[in-house]
Amino acid sequence: MNIFTHARLDALERSLDVSFDDKSLLELAFVHSSFLAEFPEVYPESNERLEFLGDALVGLVVAHELYTRFPERPEGQLTQMRAALVSKEALAQVADVLKIGGYLILGKGETETGGVERESNRANAFEALIGAIFLDQGYGAAREFTLRVMEQPIKAVVSGDAPLKHPKSLLHEVSMSRGYGPPVYKVLNQTGADHHREFTVEAVVNGKPTGHGTGGRKALAEREAAREALKAMDVSE
């Protein structure tokens, strides 16, 4: 059972460079609904309500920052940039940089089916974390933290160094538009211990292997496979 100890909470606060007055909010941000379903007596609720709050906060902070930072950009461009920055894929990448996936409190079934690998779980935990910071310290602190950890993604999207669409999302759109149906991702190989795994994934489009990728997470390998598939299909990101 993955329950936070005081030492683990302290370590998490240090890694995030945030100090909570109510540490139960920080802990709650990582409680997945699957854990609550299996152990309803341990926590009063899952992180879903915090995620709901954090989702709104992240959207507001990013929209306000883009509006203020780029007064010359038209609404359409700002909307595209915001959508790229607050997508589940993008927020999961921020969560990976913060290394918060390992703090997720998952049920046994969710753990066994690769719950930590799911982008949605990591992105939701990040949004719940923002919601927790807001409730504990107010909007100013939540805004400061959000901008601090999202500064690099914002710069990358603005400069064009990062695509406005995630490779998997773009590959899905292209595959569907060409009448191929949705792409399929197959794990070809998995090596290493639990704490240092490497996945090799194949992207199959229209029944044909089209791209391959490797990564320390299945999601990362899938993203690289999608990127290679897009190149093979002569699609620019």
Positions annotated as catalytic residues are 55, 127
DSSP 42: T
CB 89, CB 168: distance < 8 Å: yes
Structural tokens at position 113: 């089916």
Integer-rounded Cα radius of gyration of the chain: 19
Collapsing DSSP to helix, strand or coil, 97 comes out as helix
Distance set, CA 128 to CA 29, 51, 82, 104, 207 (Å): 5, 4, 19, 11, 38
Identify the residue whose tokens are 């409680």: 31
Cross-strand bridge partners of residue 211 = 203
Q: What residues contact residue 118 under an 8 Å CB cut-off, 6+ apart? A: 219
CB 38, CB 20: distance < 8 Å: no
Based on DSSP, count helices (H) and strands (E) in the chain, helices before strands: 11, 3
